[in-house]
Amino acid sequence: MEGGARGPGRREPSLPGRKSRRPTGRRDPGVSRPLVAILTGAGISTDSGIPDYRGPRGLWTLHPEYEKLVTFEYYMTDREIRCRSWQMRRQTHALAPAPNAAHRAIAELDQSGAVALRVITQNTDGLHQQAGLPARKVLELHGTSRSVVCTECGARTSLDDAFARIDAGEPDPPCVECGLAELFSVSCGAAGNCGAGGYYKDASGHFQAFVVSAA
Ligand SMILES: NC(=O)c1ccc[n+]([C@@H]2O[C@H](COP(=O)([O-])OP(=O)(O)OC[C@H]3O[C@@H](n4cnc5c(N)ncnc54)[C@H](O)[C@@H]3O)[C@@H](O)[C@H]2O)c1
Ligand SMILES: [Zn+2]
């Protein structure tokens, strides 16, 4: 699918939260290359052992009740759901999912320098970055499951810290800062709003090609 090309000489859009650089007069090494967006979703990570939701072997297909474990409203109102949600995340984490050939191919395309590349992903697993794609080139539309945020005061902590607390006997760890609120994945539209959707709308006209992978 063709995006709205503006021709060489334009600056590449920066990702949300990054300060746009002032023009320095130096030639931007990216300007003569096509700017390509690759859209990815859960399907790209199934070969890494992370189930999708709605595919033939998807989590919700096989276990419809699991939808509650990742739905913010249920998570916030039901302690049992939170405990089960933590256990599910713990099990997925224990599998130590690694980037697969598709993640690596995208990182290699970036490293080849043939195109200026951005990945716009629904995924929260961080596998594009783990495959070697610089984090600044990955737009996580739905946030990340690699860190967790307090639903009340916004304090962030790593998933590993939360798992350590669960292993030490806290099945539903509250925030260490305010002591009251639940911890949830850094998730757009729920506990933390990263505004990524707005970026996607603003930047889409800058890309010269969109590549849609399994999503
Ligand atoms: N890895 C992850 O981070 C992960 C995993 C599951 C769900 N999610 C979250 O779930 C939400 C929905 O995501 P979604 O719409 O991408 O998931 P989805 O489950 O609705 O859709 C996944 C699609 O990919 C297809 N698919 C699966 N494996 C494939 C393969 N190897 N080749 C080709 N197609 C394949 C499935 O048939 C399905 O149509 C998002 O918010 C996302 O953040 C993320
Ligand atoms: Zn807090």
Q: How close is the Cα of 184 to the center of ligand 2, in Å? A: 11
Atom 25 (ligand 1) nearest CA: 43
Residue 22 lies in a domain: no
Q: What CATH number did the domain enclosing 45 receive? A: 3.40.50
Least confident of 6-15, 95-104, 127-136, 168-177: 6-15
Question: CA distances (Å), 72 to each of 108, 175, 190, in order?
Answer: 36, 17, 7
169: left (phi over 0), alpha (psi -120 to 50) or beta: left
Q: Which two tokens stand for residue 185?
A: 């994945």
Mean pLDDT within 175-187: 73
Query: Assign residue 101 a region: left if phi > 0, alpha if psi is -120 to 50, beta otherwise?
Result: alpha
Residue 103 lies in a domain: yes
Query: Which residues are close to ligand 2, an ion, with C-beta < 5 A?
Result: 150, 152-153, 155, 175, 177-178, 181
The answer to whether residue 100 is domain-embedded is: yes
165 falls within a domain: no
At residue 32 the predicted structure's pLDDT band, cuts being 50, 70 and 90, is confident
The answer to whether residues 57 and 51 touch, using CB atoms and an 8 Å cutoff, is: yes
Report d(CA 214, CA 122) in Å as an integer: 11
pTM for this entry: 0.81
Calculate the alpha carbon distances from 43 to 19, 103, 131, 161, 190 in Å: 32, 11, 16, 28, 23
The answer to whether residue 80 sits within a structural domain is yes
CB of 95 closer than 6 A to ligand 1?
Answer: no
User: Cβ of 9: how many Cβ atoms within 10 Å?
Assistant: 8
What is the span of the domain harbouring residue 50? 35-145+193-212
Q: Is 89 among the domain residues?
A: yes
85 lines ligand 1 (CB under 6 A): no
pLDDT higher than 90, residue 49? yes
151 in any annotated domain: no
Tens-place pLDDT, residues 126-138: 999 999 999 999 9
Q: Is the CB of 45 under 6 A from ligand 1?
A: yes
Whole-number percent of the chain with pLDDT over 90? 45
| pLDDT at 78 > cutoff 80 | yes
Residue 169 lies in a domain: no
Tell me, using a 6 A CB cutoff, whether residue 88 lines ligand 1: no
Count of structural domains, the chain: 1
**Is 90 exposed, middle or buried, given 0-12, 13-18 or 19+ CB atoms closer than 10 A?**
middle
- Strand, coil or helix: what is 110? helix
